[in-house]
Amino acid sequence: MQEFFQDRRNQAMFGGTVLFMFIFPIYFALVPSLVGLDGAGASDSSGTWEVSFTEEMFTQTENSQELSDGETYESIFLLTEEMIGENRNVASVTIEVSCNDNDDVGFNDGGSGDSDLAGVSGELQDQSASGDCGGGNAFSMTWNIVEGYDGVTYEAEGKMSDITSRWSDNESARGEWYVGVTAEVVDNPVPIVGSFVNSDDSQDYDITWTAIVFEVSMEPVLNIADPTTE
């Protein structure tokens, strides 16, 4: 061992090795924070960001079958944590109800809906709506979970964590969405010319649930001065 250290070249090598043993761990510990890749650094990075959204739409369609006047069809839409995913948020949930009253003369049937969100997380307000069976939408209800969400890419200045929380659904909208669809059936007293059948005692309703789920992405905007304009 003594002979080893008497050689100046070996001493230098040993010194270099010891130096790198210290420098490398320090270097690799520093690099992530220098380029903003470590956890805390990334979520708190300030700067100018291009904020964009990737959407997924979940839909559920069903038909109530024929309902008599005053009868209620119970429509349930399940929005689970598994569907939403860890890094995604719920933008909105919509129910659309349409009906086409072609059983008698004129579109005189209608329908109404009442929600019950007792099985849904968050502080969401129940809604009621109603409308006529003209063939199109009789009525619809929309719950905007993240206010102001439109899915449009924009630029923002600030911390990543602030932008992320701006678009958070705060874990709401998960669970069992319920709307009772109640039929209003009207038998038109005016007979159909040339027909013996003119009795309307039922109506069916097409129901479509739509949930929009999104993920936020942020890309740094590099403000490099354009040399040609100077």
Which of 67, 93, 97, 101 lies at the binding interface for Ca ion (CB under 5 A)? 101
Contact between 132 and Ca ion by CB under 5 A: the answer reads no
Which of these ranges, 20-28, 45-53, 117-125, 192-200, lies near Ca ion under the rule CB under 5 A? Answer: 192-200
Q: Is 180 in contact with 126 (CB distance < 8 Å)?
A: no
Question: DSSP secondary-structure letter at 124?
Answer: P
Give me the least distance between CB of 95 and Ca ion, in Å please. Answer: 21
Among 114, 177, 171, residue whose Cα is nearest residue 146: 171
Which residue, 52 or 198, has its beta carbon nearer to Ca ion? 198
Pick one of 89, 91, 95, 103: the residue that binds Ca ion (CB under 5 A).
103
Least CB distance from residue 147 to Ca ion, whole Å? 38
Which of 91, 109, 113, 183 forms a contact with Ca ion (CB under 5 A)? 109
Residue 147 DSSP code: T
Q: Which two tokens stand for residue 25?
A: 């761990």
Can you tell me the distance from the alpha carbon of 113 to that of 119, in angstroms, rounded to the nearest whole number?
17
| Minimum gap (Å) between residue 102 Cβ and Ca ion | 7
Tell me how far, at minimum, the Cβ of 76 lies from Ca ion, in Å: 24
User: Residues 6 or more apart from 201 whose CB is under 8 A from it?
Assistant: 68, 69, 185, 187
Number of residues that bind Ca ion (CB under 5 A): 8
Residues within window 195-214 making contact with Ca ion, judged by CB under 5 A: 200, 203
What are the structure tokens assigned to 191, written together? 């007979």
Q: Length of the chain, please? A: 230
Nearest approach, Cβ of residue 169 and Ca ion (Å): 39
Q: Is 12 helix (H, G, I), strand (E, B) or coil?
A: helix
> What is the three-class DSSP state of 31?
helix
Q: How far apart are CA 35 and CA 169, in angstroms?
A: 30
Stretch that binds Ca ion, among 1-9, 165-173, 184-192, 206-214 (CB under 5 A): 184-192
Instruction: State which residue, 72 or 121, has the beta carbon closest to Ca ion.
Output: 72
Nearer to Ca ion, 74 or 187 (CB): 187
Residue with tokens 């043993």: 21
Question: Is the Cα dihedral 60, 139, 113, 150 positive or negative?
Answer: positive
Shortest distance, position 152 Cβ to Ca ion, whole Å: 41
Residues near Ca ion, by CB under 5 A: 101, 103-104, 108-109, 186, 200, 203
